[in-house]
């Protein structure tokens, strides 16, 4: 896959770690960026790493596990950028409430709400974003979806 200047990349989980690194690398290649994270201050910190004047960067605070938030995100991204070429499903969470390394202990220490939150972000988030951005991606000559492995 060739990444070209002026393509538009949507990166979930862009507030830090791999998402922030991807944002920097794509900005260096001249991509416009729609950065998504649940943490607004983390998004702003990522924006501070991106000192490029010739690219358009938008920040979007959204919970990827919330379908209504993802619908709003799609609308905002298309309104700001007009298109999407790259969808990078990077957002993901883990929960570790037990200090023991035993899966049994870790599993039993989590509530059903904990597991629902993990599944919403790690399973439903990528499904929502793929489904909601698919038609926009199909309109582009060159478009790709990336999923971070867990």
pTM: predicted TM-score of the whole model, two decimal places: 0.92
Residue 148, Cβ density class (10 Å: 0-12 exposed, 13-18 middle, ≥19 buried): middle
d(CA 94, CA 121): 10
Give me the half-sphere count of Cα atoms (radius 13 Å) on the Cβ side of residue 128: 22
The pLDDT assigned to 107 comes to 73
CATH of the domain at 17: 3.40.50.720
Q: Which tens digits make up the pLDDT trace of 91-150? A: 999 887 655 555 556 677 889 999 999 999 999 999 999 999 999 999 999 999 998 765
1 is a domain residue: no
Q: Is residue 2 part of a domain?
A: no
Residue 119: inside a domain: yes
Count of domains in the chain?
1
Q: In 10 A of CB 73, how many CB atoms?
A: 24
Q: What is the pLDDT of residue 2?
A: 83
Q: Rounded mean pLDDT of the chain? A: 92
* Residue range of the domain that includes 69: 8-147
Structural domain includes residue 117: yes
Within-domain flag for 115: yes
Quick one: tokens of 59?
A: 């920040």
Q: What pLDDT is stored for residue 102 in this prediction?
A: 56
pLDDT of residue 14: 98
Judge whether 3 lies within some domain: no
Tokens of 28: 């260096």
Domain-located, residue 83: yes
65 within some domain: yes
Q: What is the pLDDT of residues 21-51, one digit of tens each?
A: 999 999 999 999 999 999 999 999 999 999 8
How many percent of the chain have pLDDT more than 70?
92
DSSP letter string, 2-64: ---TT-EEEEETTTSHHHHHHHHHHHHTT-EEEEEES-HHHHHHHHHT---SSS-EEEEE--T
Residues 6+ positions from 105 with CB-CB distance below 8 Å: 98
């Amino acid at each position: 896959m060739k990444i070209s200047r002026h393509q538009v990349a949507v990166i979930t989980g862009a507030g830090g770690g791999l998402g922030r690194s991807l944002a920097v690398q794509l900005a260096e290649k001249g991509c416009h960026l729609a950065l998504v994270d649940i943490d607004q201050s983390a998004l702003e910190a990522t924006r501070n790493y991106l000192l490029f004047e010739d690219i358009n960067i938008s920040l979007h605070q959204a919970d990827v596990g919330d379908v209504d938030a993802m619908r709003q995100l799609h609308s905002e991204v298309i309104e700001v950028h007009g298109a999407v070429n790259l969808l990078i499903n990077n957002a993901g969470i883990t929960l570790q409430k037990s200090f023991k390394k035993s899966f049994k202990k870790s599993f039993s220490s989590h509530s059903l709400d904990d597991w629902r939150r993990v599944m919403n972000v790690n399973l439903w988030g990528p499904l929502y974003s793929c489904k909601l951005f698919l038609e926009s991606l199909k309109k582009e000559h060159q478009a790709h979806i990336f999923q971070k492995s867990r």
